[in-house]
């Protein structure tokens, strides 16, 4: 059996129907996830308990036979590993003790702290079906920094923008520490068995003009260059969510092999300028999975039409929501696989 996603990324194959996986494919829309989540007690415990993290990673693969499996972890494990206090409030989301400089953060405990995550990767590479590609991931520095500085998710990332404006030295120092930690973390994921990497820059959309070049493109590129310098050769997917008219610049400059695209932009307008050496991914509105049926299928048709003749990985424009009926996910997968 072939690993379709890996061979699409390596330009070895252009299958009749696009391979598929979904961002946040393991999560609260699945009753079996909620069961294991309860057992783990809290979310970070789930991330750091290899057997349980492996189990929830495998759940959507058993149920839907996606072409890729994404390691179950979180982008906020990096701040935790660097020594910042991180916790999750039930029903609300992440909380961190806010910081305004890299003072007090240390890379010294990173590898020991992340060992349970590496063990999850290792279990997955033993237990996944041979045809399923294993994706490792991390947050991109700007997105991780927005949480570290604000201490929580924010609608406009204003606290991070304020630090960048008021104390560029402290802000850049923090970004540099995240870059360094992320290189080490992702290189280790690959050592333990990750076959592809994705960098999530979920809040790239609030960086405009020159800021987009300096704090989105440059740090994503620094991580990718750092990985290549260490001899890591796996394909890398970039996801500068909300990048609007800068998507193609990002794809050309950051050194990615694939570009994940959100649902707020016209797909054709991005791929018409995207070199065909770069694979496209994503763009389906996660909300259409709540309705399912004809409305969902017609949005799928549009994406398949727009990407005909190029290498494309079917995915959402952002994570699946917890309100998605699991049956709609099976309908989606069957529809795409029968379209070829």
Nearest distance in Å: CB 72, ligand CP3? 5
Please tell me the distance from the alpha carbon of residue 159 to that of residue 208, in angstroms, as a whole number. 16
Residues 273-332 within binding reach of ligand CP3 (CB under 6 A): 319
Nearest distance in Å: CB 112, ligand CP3? 22
Please tell me the distance from the alpha carbon of residue 170 to that of residue 206, in angstroms, as a whole number. 20
Name the residue nearer to ligand CP3 (CB basis): 101 or 154.
154
Nearest distance in Å: CB 308, ligand CP3? 27
DSSP sequence for 246-267: GHHHHHHHH--SEEEE-TTS-H
Name the residue nearer to ligand CP3 (CB basis): 140 or 306.
140
Residues 141-180 within binding reach of ligand CP3 (CB under 6 A): 153
**3-class secondary structure per residue, 11-36:** CCCCCCCCCECCCCCCCCCCHHHHHH
Residues comprising the chain, all counted = 340
Name the residue nearer to ligand CP3 (CB basis): 37 or 161.
37
Name the residue nearer to ligand CP3 (CB basis): 75 or 306.
75
Scanning 70-78, 102-110, 230-238, 292-300 for contacts with ligand CP3 by CB under 6 A, the matching segment is 70-78
Scanning 10-18, 72-80, 111-119, 306-314 for contacts with ligand CP3 by CB under 6 A, the matching segment is 72-80
Task: Tell me the C-alpha to C-alpha distance, in Å, between residue 329 and each of 58, 131, 133, 296, 323.
Answer: 16, 20, 19, 10, 12
Q: CA dihedral in degrees (308, 267, 182, 98; nearest 10)? A: -160
Residue with tokens 């008021």: 166
Nearest distance in Å: CB 277, ligand CP3? 25
Nearest distance in Å: CB 167, ligand CP3? 24
Q: Is 137 in the site for ligand CP3 (CB under 6 A)?
A: yes
Taking the chain, what is the end-to-end CA distance rounded to the nearest angstrom?
A: 18
How many residues of this chain interact with ligand CP3, rule: CB under 6 A? 21
Name the residue nearer to ligand CP3 (CB basis): 193 or 306.
193
Out of 24, 95, 127, 310, the residue judged to bind ligand CP3 by CB under 6 A: 24
Q: Is 118 in the site for ligand CP3 (CB under 6 A)?
A: no
Closest by CA position to 279, among listed 183, 185, 187, 196: 196
Residues 86-115 within binding reach of ligand CP3 (CB under 6 A): 93-94
Please tell me the distance from the alpha carbon of residue 44 to that of residue 58, in angstroms, as a whole number. 18
Q: Active-site residues: which are they? A: 24, 28, 37, 74, 147
Name the residue nearer to ligand CP3 (CB basis): 6 or 86.
86
Please state whether beta strands 86-89 and 93-96 pair in parallel, antiparallel, or not at all (unpaired).
antiparallel
Binding residues for ligand CP3, per CB under 6 A? 23-28, 37, 43, 70, 72, 74-76, 93-94, 137, 139, 153, 200, 202, 319
């Amino acid at each position: 059996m072939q690993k379709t996603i890996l061979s699409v990324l390596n330009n070895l194959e252009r299958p009749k129907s696009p391979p598929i996986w979904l961002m946040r494919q393991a999560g609260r829309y699945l009753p079996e996830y909620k069961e294991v989540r309860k057992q783990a007690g809290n979310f970070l415990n789930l991330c750091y308990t290899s057997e349980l993290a492996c189990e929830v990673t495998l759940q959507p693969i058993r149920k839907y036979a996606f072409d890729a499996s994404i390691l179950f972890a979180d982008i906020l494990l990096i701040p935790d590993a660097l020594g910042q206090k991180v916790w999750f409030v039930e029903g609300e989301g992440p909380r961190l003790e806010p910081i305004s400089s890299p003072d007090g953060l240390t890379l010294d405990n990173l590898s020991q702290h992340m060992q349970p995550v590496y063990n999850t990767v290792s279990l997955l590479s033993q237990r996944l079906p041979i045809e399923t590609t294993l994706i490792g991931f991390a947050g991109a520095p700007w997105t991780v920094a927005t949480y570290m500085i604000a201490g929580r998710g924010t609608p406009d990332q204003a606290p991070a923008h304020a630090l960048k404006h008021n104390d560029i030295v402290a802000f850049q120092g923090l970004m540099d520490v995240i870059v360094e930690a992320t290189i080490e973390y992702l290189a280790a994921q690959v050592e333990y068995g990750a076959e592809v990497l994705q960098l999530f820059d979920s809040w790239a959309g609030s960086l405009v003009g020159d800021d987009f070049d300096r704090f989105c493109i440059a740090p994503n590129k620094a991580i990718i260059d750092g990985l290549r310098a260490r001899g890591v050769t796996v394909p890398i997917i970039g996801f500068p969510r909300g990048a609007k008219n800068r998507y193609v610049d990002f794809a050309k400059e950051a050194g990615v092999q694939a570009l994940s695209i959100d649902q707020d932009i016209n797909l054709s307008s991005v791929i018409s300028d995207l070199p065909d050496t770069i694979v496209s991914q994503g763009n389906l509105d996660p909300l259409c999975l709540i309705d399912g049926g004809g409305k969902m299928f017609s949005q799928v048709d549009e994406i398949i039409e727009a990407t005909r003749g190029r290498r494309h990985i079917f995915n959402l424009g952002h994570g699946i929501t917890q309100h998605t009926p699991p049956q709609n996910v099976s309908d989606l997968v069957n529809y795409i696989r029968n379209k070829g």
